Chains A and B, each alone.
Chain A
Amino acid sequence: MADTLLEIRDLKIEATVYPPGEKPQDIVIVDGVSLALEKGKVLGLIGESGAGKSTIGLSAMSYGRGGVRLTGGDILLNGREIRRARGSALRALRGHEVTYVAQSAAAAFNPAKRLMEQVIETSLWHGVASRAEAEARAVALFAKLGLPDPETFGQRYPHQVSGGQLQRAMTAMALCPEPDLVIFDEPTTALDVTTQIDVLAAIKEAIRDTGVAALYITHDLAVVAQVSDDIMVLRNGKTVEYGPVDQIINHPQEDYTRALVSVRSMEHPEKTDEAESVLTVDHVTARYRGTHFDVLKDVTVSLQPGHTLAVVGESGSGKSTLARAITGLLPPTKGAIHFAGRTLSPALAQRTKDDLRELQMIYQMADVAMNPRQTVGTIIGRPLEFYFGLRGEAKRKRVQELLDQIEMGEGYIDRYPAELSGGQKQRVCIARALAAKPKLIICDEVTSALDPLVADGILKLLLNLQEQQNVAYLFITHDLATVRAIADSIAVMYQGEVVRYGPKASVLSPPFDDYTDLLLSSVPEMRIGWLEEVIAHRKMESAGH
């Protein structure tokens, strides 16, 4: 193994946690993980949040985030043991031999400095290159990564470029000092699918052309299948399965890996029965106060009781604004919203209590949608009090029923949100919406912040509840796998307009309009070589036009 760049043997990582009301405890977050990476190869680390994948990634720089300590095992980089390294020995390898690409490039760039200054900082600090050489190299990398105006791109400040561009700039920053190893920590997770595919292709090409090795960390198996040579599946800080990408994707050995591979294949037959619409959005146009730009342009959609309408589109397409218009938070400038046989008044303040009750909402961030100082019982009990006047034992009984419905059990009634997992928090939010006995629930990216398997559970729960209670969902999402799993009809939004709308089967079958085609073809598929096919296909198409 002369070519081994990084070897980790029996790594153990611990952290101190401070549970409320108890003494601080040391917990093991990574236990007995071993891996080896050769020069120029890419190893994908995959797992849910809390699996320890970022922690392992950062251990290749001998870095523990927060109070995390690397307490056992060996980390060999270029043949040197680095876990016990301190001070200048550590600083000499960070940014020189190993560099890091963070998930949120927007937060990882210093807002007060120009991009070029930050991109070449490492090269100058470690004496890898002179300023002129480093700048020339940065410009070449900007060009390779497909950034606009590579010559002058570096003169901008971070807030002056888009999220996808920043992510590429961060990749340039990591590659500029010519490291041996780059750690990519969820580099495309925060991006829209249509942007993700470009960044992914740029990263893959840059890795291939520079011959650098990489640790690629993500929770999305379909993404990691596109860029890796090997994949390690992690769960709760332990290795579940480790092998070549073909074995993991096509012949997984472990149940957990099989579950991850099949997670996106949930199907939902669309309902087609015709009934009176529960919601009709009728030629609605809206803009934010003090602006001169319509964020919704002549939007018309409708939804039957017990059905799900998925609204898809990338960030800024107006899908959340549509929810704000329906809920009355943003009164439309034109058009009307008909709901359950009546026309809703545009502004929230004029709506009746029944209007409010029958139209509920669930948000993406369950954490911030609940008061952290109220118990689950209080949170779910509030709409019961407000809409139905339930008190005392009657209220508690109903809360227990609702907890049963979300498959959580009454043991949770006196818990606080901080004591729940991400999926459980979202379930509590669902119960709170259900408590009002609504006819329509608007779900705004409710599974986007969750791990795939947890998200699957939430989707199944929503479908079950729909069957039992005949509630309609307006499901806002950017994730087309979710759409396939839950929708009856689909509205595709782009720049404030509905560009494609109809039953699921017809929206998802050709012929496509340009935007829907781009959107659909950008969703990563669980298949090796998918990325190359799409890129080659797009190049051919653009050459053909």
Chain B
Amino acid sequence: MSPVVKLLAQRIALGLLLLFLVSILIFVGTIILPGDVAQSILGQSATPEALANLRRDLGLNDPPVTRYFNWLFGVLQGDLGTALTSGQDIATQIGARLGNTLFLAFWAAVISVPLAIFLGLLAVRYRDRWPDKLISGVTLASISVPEFVIAYVLIFFVAVKLRWGVSVATINDSMSLGDKLYAIALPVAVLTLVVLAHMMRMTRAAILNVMQSAYIETAELKGLTMFTIIRRHAFPNSIAPIVNVVMLNLAYLVVGVVVIEVVFVYPGMGQYLVDHVSKRDVPVVQACGLIFAAVYIGLNLVADVVSILTNPRLRHPK
């Protein structure tokens, strides 16, 4: 077996193992949370008999291990359970929400990733001169301000004063793509500002690191222009760290957008999760946690795979 295939198989197996461990962690975490589901469903005035009955019906009296495996096998078959509070199927509910979150994340990524890499290259090209300092300063400022502040500032100026966008990003299936994009323009702008700095600075650092290499001097002594050197010689050798930080930020766009979704009243996973945490709806919290973990592990797996595939030593063994 070629070393690349072996390494890839190892990484994927490790990813699955990690997901399994995380599922245990999520389950244990939700068990040790204070509070009682039955109590929160029935309210403070419920009789002890009613509470006991509900606990039995929900299976809360089974030992935790049994409950864990029942849940795990359900998940493996695509059954995430039913929400305790509404009695609806979680998978169906999450499906639509996840779609919305991915829609938002996708457009934020489409704008921010190429922009970040381009700005990173630009910063390297004009290193320590004003374009570099301007890019670094602006992106650093945007990452330092809490995202909800950026969100409200944008809402105030763009949506309220200039009336160029809408402050409530409500979307539904009957809207056309154009309408949807118009609706999410502001949250996409905020998310772009939030993730841009990290990716741009990592791109800059990764390429600068490679620019110290002797083969960059070789390229310079070949008479190549600076931009050609960066494009041909530096960039191919800095793909792995760049992809790594891009994937981390993509993961953030999916799992970390709770605040933005709440600010813009966007019907995504984050808001769904927050709602159900406050209602102590354990199956929903578990399902959301597992999906977030899967997205996170999956994207990092992609980063690992890319860095393995871009390493010439692994692709072309001696």
Which residues of A are interface residues toward B (Cβ below 8 A)?
58, 61, 63, 65, 90-96, 99-100, 102, 104, 107-113, 121-122, 125-126, 156-157, 159-160
Q: Mark B191-222, 1 if CB is under 8 A from A, else 0.
A: 00000000000000000000001110111111
**Measured CA separation A96–B223 after assembly (Å):** 8
Given A107-B215, A109-B215, A110-B215, A95-B221 contact (CB < 8 Å): yes
**Measured CA separation A193–B194 after assembly (Å):** 57
- Chain B residue contacts of A90, Cβ below 8 A: 223
Given A107-B213, A107-B215, A122-B312 contact (CB < 8 Å): no
Q: Mark B231-253, 1 if CB is under 8 A from A, else 0.
A: 01100110000000000000000
Residues A111 and B237 in contact, CB atoms below 8 Å apart: yes
The winner among B215, B228, B233 for most chain A CB atoms within 10 A is B215
- Chain B residue contacts of A112, Cβ below 8 A: 236-237, 310, 312
Give the Cβ gap from A203 to chain B, nearest Cβ, in Å: 17
The residue on B at minimum CB distance from A122 is: B222
Give the Cβ gap from A471 to chain B, nearest Cβ, in Å: 40
A–B pairs, 13, beta carbons within 8 Å: A61-B221, A94-B220, A94-B223, A99-B221, A100-B221, A107-B215, A110-B215, A110-B233, A111-B215, A112-B237, A156-B316, A159-B318, A160-B316
**Measured CA separation A15–B214 after assembly (Å):** 20
Give the Cβ gap from A70 to chain B, nearest Cβ, in Å: 15
Give the Cβ gap from B47 to chain A, nearest Cβ, in Å: 67
- Chain B residue contacts of A121, Cβ below 8 A: 222, 224
Which residue in A96, A100, A126, A156 is a CB contact (below 8 Å) of B218?
Answer: A100
Whether a CB of chain A sits under 8 angstroms from the CB of B225 is yes
- Chain A residue contacts of B310, Cβ below 8 A: 112
Which residue in B214, B217, B224, B318 is a CB contact (below 8 Å) of A125?
Answer: B224
Residues B316 and A157 in contact, CB atoms below 8 Å apart: yes
Given A107-B214, A112-B312, A125-B236 contact (CB < 8 Å): no
Q: How many chain B residues touch A (Cβ–Cβ < 8 Å)?
A: 22
Which residues of B are interface residues toward A (Cβ below 8 A)?
213-215, 217-225, 228, 232-233, 236-237, 310, 312-313, 316, 318
Which residue in B214, B223, B228, B316 is a CB contact (below 8 Å) of A93?
Answer: B223
- Chain A residue contacts of B316, Cβ below 8 A: 156-157, 159-160
Residues A108 and B218 in contact, CB atoms below 8 Å apart: yes
- Chain B residue contacts of A95, Cβ below 8 A: 221-224
Give the Cβ gap from B303 to chain A, nearest Cβ, in Å: 18
Given A157-B312, A157-B316, A91-B218 contact (CB < 8 Å): no
- Chain A residue contacts of B223, Cβ below 8 A: 90-96, 122, 125-126
Seed contacts A91-B224, A111-B215, A113-B236; 4 additional CB < 8 Å A-B pairs: A102-B214, A110-B219, A110-B237, A159-B313
Residues A63 and B221 in contact, CB atoms below 8 Å apart: yes
Residues B312 and A111 in contact, CB atoms below 8 Å apart: yes
The winner among B225, B228, B232 for most chain A CB atoms within 10 A is B232
Given A111-B312, A159-B313, A91-B225 contact (CB < 8 Å): yes
The residue on A at minimum CB distance from B234 is: A110
**Measured CA separation A99–B218 after assembly (Å):** 9
**Measured CA separation A94–B215 after assembly (Å):** 15
**Measured CA separation A110–B221 after assembly (Å):** 14
Given A113-B236, A157-B312, A159-B313, A125-B222 contact (CB < 8 Å): yes
- Chain B residue contacts of A65, Cβ below 8 A: 217
The residue on A at minimum CB distance from B218 is: A108
**Measured CA separation A159–B225 after assembly (Å):** 26
**Measured CA separation A65–B224 after assembly (Å):** 16
**Measured CA separation A92–B213 after assembly (Å):** 23
- Chain A residue contacts of B232, Cβ below 8 A: 113
Residues B214 and A104 in contact, CB atoms below 8 Å apart: yes
**Measured CA separation A156–B224 after assembly (Å):** 23
Which residue in A63, A108, A126, A157 is a CB contact (below 8 Å) of B215?
Answer: A108
- Chain B residue contacts of A113, Cβ below 8 A: 232-233, 236
**Measured CA separation A100–B228 after assembly (Å):** 19
**Measured CA separation A538–B178 after assembly (Å):** 79
- Chain B residue contacts of A122, Cβ below 8 A: 222-223
Given A110-B233, A112-B312, A157-B316, A102-B225 contact (CB < 8 Å): no
**Measured CA separation A310–B284 after assembly (Å):** 73
Which residue in A94, A107, A109, A157 is a CB contact (below 8 Å) of B222?
Answer: A94
- Chain A residue contacts of B236, Cβ below 8 A: 110, 112-113
**Measured CA separation A84–B305 after assembly (Å):** 48
**Measured CA separation A141–B183 after assembly (Å):** 63
**Measured CA separation A24–B162 after assembly (Å):** 52
The winner among A61, A110, A159, A160 for most chain B CB atoms within 10 A is A110
Residues B214 and A94 in contact, CB atoms below 8 Å apart: no
- Chain B residue contacts of A109, Cβ below 8 A: 215, 218
- Chain A residue contacts of B214, Cβ below 8 A: 102, 104, 107-108
The residue on B at minimum CB distance from A98 is: B221
- 10 shortest interchain CB distances as A-B pairs: A95-B222, A94-B223, A107-B214, A95-B223, A91-B223, A112-B236, A110-B215, A100-B221, A108-B218, A122-B222
**Measured CA separation A160–B313 after assembly (Å):** 8
Give the Cβ gap from A267 to chain B, nearest Cβ, in Å: 38
Give the Cβ gap from B37 to chain A, nearest Cβ, in Å: 52
- Chain A residue contacts of B237, Cβ below 8 A: 110-112
Residues A159 and B221 in contact, CB atoms below 8 Å apart: no
The residue on B at minimum CB distance from A97 is: B223
Give the Cβ gap from A102 to chain B, nearest Cβ, in Å: 6
Give the Cβ gap from A232 to chain B, nearest Cβ, in Å: 22
- Chain A residue contacts of B215, Cβ below 8 A: 107-111
